[in-house]
Amino acid sequence: MGSKSDESKMLKAKETLDEFGVESEWRVLSAHRNPDQVVELVSTARDNGFIAFICGAGMAAHLAGVVAAHTTLPVVGVPLSGGALNGQDALYATVQMPKGVPVATVAIDGSQNAALLVLQMLGISNLEIQEKLSKYKEEMANR
């Protein structure tokens, strides 16, 4: 995530991944304030066992795009509320990516859906996660 202040908005993603037994690593790195550290993390991610990125950022929200520019792993962007435009600027910055630099984008503050999207990607080749997702969706339908 781009800032320490984003943690509360990104917590649902971590909780959801934990609930499904998927290990995650959480970092506070800004595309603007720590660009070299972002590129270093992303460039070594595959070798370190990463399978996807969930990037949450507000306002200018360039984190997901910078990550996507430096990896072939899936990137899910979570535009975060705040600032004068309450997340609209972050939404546009996250969703409007140039050809060849895809970022799957969820709703403003939609970190739980970001985690579910990554879980669905994992479920393509992981039967256990696929079954847990089916059960999760059943439970959602029965609420």
Structure tokens at 86: 């309450």
What's the topology of domain 4-141? Rossmann fold (3.40.50)
Residues whose CB falls within 8 Å of the CB of residue 76, separated by 6 or more in sequence, listed in order? 52, 53, 54, 55, 64, 103, 104, 105, 106, 114, 117, 118
Q: How far is CA 122 from CA 28, 40, 68, 119, in A?
A: 24, 24, 18, 5
3-state secondary structure of 109: coil
- Mean predicted lDDT score pLDDT of the chain: 97
User: Span 36-48, mean pLDDT?
Assistant: 98
Tell me what pLDDT residue 81 has. 98
Sequence spans of domains, the chain = 4-141
Each residue's pLDDT tens digit, 90-128? 999 999 999 999 999 999 999 999 999 999 999 999 999
Each residue's pLDDT tens digit, 64-86? 999 999 999 999 999 999 999 99
Tell me what pLDDT residue 74 has. 99
pLDDT-above-70 percentage for the chain: 100
pTM over the 0.75 mark: yes
Which residue, chain included where needed, has tokens 């990896």? 71
Tell me what pLDDT residue 33 has. 95
d(CA 63, CA 55): 6
